[in-house]
């Protein structure tokens, strides 16, 4: 009862105020440095000085993760090279303990598997809302939700490509990889996601899931200031050495400081790049001075034959990127972040001139179109813009109307479980069959990312079967108030 009440309170806040949360890790380009950031420890100290304090480690991680990700994920390679040379230009001092001695494999396996869980966690809620829409109604809303669900599947597969690139076997179909609803995303968020019928409630939650890191769109481009020289801070050898580069601390940083999916990928990209820098140091005994130094080799030891490539992916939305080097990780994370929250400080996931209205907005803005029942394209946003032409991401769409019938959805029980169907043998059997089909879909993806790419073709067949089985469940009354629905629970085949 307490959990349900908390969920309802959070949902009302999401419906009435669909703004993204405040964040301590904005991804907008930096125009300057605060007093705190200016005093942040150098990247070299952050990686190799085992005598820095926990506070210095956290502030340094915040500072350098913003700089590094903003540069590389915005294709500012020359500026990155300048930043790297500046940070690694002083005499090298390496503590007895440090990141250089950490095995990156279990750390990145955990963090990337969490990314898979994040992507996976969004798919059943989106599909449930889609399936719950009654046939012949809400055609445009259905198209939008379907397009987002397909792209989330694309994201999941591309994260698997990143894992395979660093020679770690991805896992998508094991019981521990299944989300259990209602749930919170594994970040610093205060809302729950779950399986619900199509409604203002579910769409408001989807808006919260896809909240951008930026508070403004169409922000002007700027590069972070890079100091010409950094002095490596010398510390007393008598000071007790410590090592904060542990999986527990790295995940703890995420749970305390990361509020959006985009921010999760920013920090994850920073960790991946740091391990690649360390791999370069361990191999050469010197620190890298350019992107080319760390692009290939290092942690990227995976078999290229296991990569899912564009010609092997049959989804209709987004572009699939294979990964064999750091530049591949950049392409993957740019695609995921662009589709989720917008690219190049825009509401669109790529160049908006290539697409028609309502088709290729970032996920956050697509869901806002449904919620506000209007398209963005063709609207007037001058009243919301500042002198630089920027507007808050929370600006509602004001283009032509998007027809939505909120009543044309089956009244499904929230977060149903197979146990809810225990008194109805036929309904229970249908629920089991749905879960088996979903398991087969995940099995096909698992086989594909293990190197059997042709198995991905089966996913299309299973997607069609899923919809038919889900609709059969949604049409059946569970009690006097609610209908049944798909449960997306793990099952043995």
**256-292 pLDDT, tens per residue?**
999 999 999 999 999 999 999 999 999 999 999 999 9
What digits encode the pLDDT tens for the residues 163-199?
999 999 999 999 999 999 999 999 999 999 999 999 9
Query: Please, where are the H alpha helices in 174-213?
Result: 200-209
What pLDDT was estimated at residue 26? 41
pLDDT category at 353 given cuts 50, 70, 90 is very low
What digits encode the pLDDT tens for the residues 405-441?
999 999 999 999 999 999 999 999 999 999 999 999 9
Q: Is the pLDDT of residue 228 over 60?
A: no
Which residue from 192, 148, 159, 162 is spatially nearest to 367, judged by alpha carbons? Answer: 148
- Mean pLDDT over the full length of the chain: 85
What pLDDT was estimated at residue 260? 94
Report the distance separating Cα 415 and Cα 431, nearest Å: 13
Q: For residue 475, give the 3-state DSSP assignment.
A: coil
Q: Token match 């029980």: residue?
A: 413
For the chain, the domains span 2-392, 418-474
Lowest model confidence (mean pLDDT) among 240-249, 297-306, 351-360 = 351-360
The torsion of the CA quartet 368, 374, 375, 381, rounded to 10 degrees, works out to -90
Q: Which residues of 304-340 are buried (b: 16+ CB within 10 A; e: fewer)?
A: eebbbeeebbebebbbbbbbbebbbbbbbbbbbbbbb
What pLDDT was estimated at residue 10? 52
Lowest model confidence (mean pLDDT) among 143-147, 158-162, 215-219, 487-491 = 215-219
Report the distance separating Cα 404 and Cα 401, nearest Å: 9
Confirm if 332 and 268 have CB atoms less than 8 A apart: no
Burial status of residue 399 (CB atoms within 10 A of its CB: 0-12, 13-18, 19 or more): middle
Report the distance separating Cα 233 and Cα 235, nearest Å: 6
What digits encode the pLDDT tens for the residues 62-97?
999 999 999 999 999 999 999 999 999 766 666 555
Q: Token match 């146990």: residue?
A: 419
More confident: 7 or 115: 115
Q: Is the pLDDT of residue 392 over 50?
A: yes
Q: Is the pLDDT of residue 15 over 90?
A: no
Domain 2-392 has CATH 1.20.1260.10: yes
More confident: 184 or 50: 184
């Amino acid at each position: 009862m307490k959990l349900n009440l908390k969920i309802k309170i959070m949902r009302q806040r999401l419906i009435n105020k669909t703004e993204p949360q405040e964040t301590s890790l904005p991804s907008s380009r930096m125009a300057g440095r605060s007093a705190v950031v200016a005093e942040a420890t150098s990247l070299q100290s952050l990686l190799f000085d085992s005598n820095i304090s926990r506070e210095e480690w956290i502030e340094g991680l915040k500072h350098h993760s913003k700089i590094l990700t903003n540069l590389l994920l915005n294709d500012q390679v020359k500026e990155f090279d300048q930043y790297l040379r500046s940070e690694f230009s002083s005499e090298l001092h390496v503590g007895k303990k440090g990141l250089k001695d950490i095995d990156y494999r279990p750390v990145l396996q955990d963090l990337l598997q969490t990314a898979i869980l994040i992507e996976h966690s969004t798919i059943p809620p989106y599909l449930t809302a889609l399936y719950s829409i009654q046939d012949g109604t809400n055609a445009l809303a259905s198209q939008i939700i379907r397009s987002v669900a397909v792209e989330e599947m694309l994201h999941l597969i591309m994260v698997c490509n990143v894992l395979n690139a660093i020679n770690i076997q991805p896992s998508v179909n094991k019981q521990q990889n299944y989300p259990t609803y209602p749930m919170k995303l594994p970040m610093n968020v205060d809302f729950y996601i779950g399986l619900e019928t199509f409604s203002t409630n579910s769409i408001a939650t989807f808006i919260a899931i896809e909240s951008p890191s930026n508070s403004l769109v169409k922000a002007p481009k700027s590069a972070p200031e890079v100091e010409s020289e950094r002095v490596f801070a010398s510390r007393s050898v008598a000071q007790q050495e410590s090592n904060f580069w542990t999986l527990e601390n790295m995940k703890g940083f995420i749970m305390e400081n990361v509020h959006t999916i985009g921010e999760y990928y920013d920090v994850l990209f920073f960790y991946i790049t740091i391990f690649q820098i360390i791999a370069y140091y361990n191999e050469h005994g010197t620190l890298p001075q350019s992107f080319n130094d760390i692009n290939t080799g290092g942690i990227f030891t995976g078999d290229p034959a296991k990569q899912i490539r564009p010609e092997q992916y049959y989804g209709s939305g987004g572009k699939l990127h294979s990964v064999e080097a750091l530049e591949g990780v950049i392409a993957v994370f740019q695609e995921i972040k662009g589709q989720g929250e917008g690219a190049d400080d825009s509401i669109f996931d790529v160049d908006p001139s290539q697409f028609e209205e309502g088709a290729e907005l970032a996920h956050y803005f697509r869901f806002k179109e449904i919620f506000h029942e209007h398209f963005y394209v063709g609207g007037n946003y001058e009243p919301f813009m500042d002198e630089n032409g920027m507007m808050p991401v929370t600006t509602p769409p004001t283009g032509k109307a998007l027809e939505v019938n909120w009543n044309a959805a089956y009244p499904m029980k929230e977060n149903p479980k197979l146990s809810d169907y225990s008194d109805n043998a036929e309904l229970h059997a249908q629920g089991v069959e749905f879960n088996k089909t979903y398991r087969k879909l995940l099995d096909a993806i698992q086989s594909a990312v293990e190197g059997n790419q042709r198995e991905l073709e089966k996913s299309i067949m299973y997607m069609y079967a899923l919809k038919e089985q889900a609709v059969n469940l949604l049409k059946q009354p569970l009690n006097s108030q609610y209908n049944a629905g798909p449960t997306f629970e793990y099952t043995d085949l």
